[in-house]
Amino acid sequence: MPLRLVPPAKPSPKQAVIERIKKAPRPDGMIQCARCGGRTLMTTVNGAFVKNGRKQGGTVIEKDVCYHCHQLGIRSLMLPELKPV
């Protein structure tokens, strides 16, 4: 059976909205989720203390993860993980 190219499917209404949001103009350098287009990022810290009225210490569990994707159980990094060479 010969292989044939399949034209891309028309996006669902939800996917069309996501694509429109992702293409919306934004200030230069603003961080945006590549998956859902959200602009809310979060960092979670475990085991922090309050000392002299200030938050101190703790272990960073998740850093710069999309908040909206995290609510759906998806871990979507909004910044690339740059590791030293």
Residues that bind Zn ion (CB under 5 A): 33, 35-36, 38, 66, 68-69, 76
Conformation bin of residue 52: beta by default, left when phi > 0, alpha when psi is -120 to 50: left
Nearer to Zn ion, 12 or 59 (CB): 12
Least distance CB 64 / Zn ion (angstroms) = 11
Least distance CB 8 / Zn ion (angstroms) = 22
What is the rounded CA–CA span in Å between residue 56 and residue 33?
29
What is the rounded CA–CA span in Å between residue 39 and residue 33?
6
Nearer to Zn ion, 63 or 68 (CB): 68
Query: Residue 75: enclosing H or E segment and its boundaries?
Result: none
Give, as one character, the DSSP assignment of residue 34: T
Nearer to Zn ion, 21 or 36 (CB): 36
Least distance CB 6 / Zn ion (angstroms) = 28
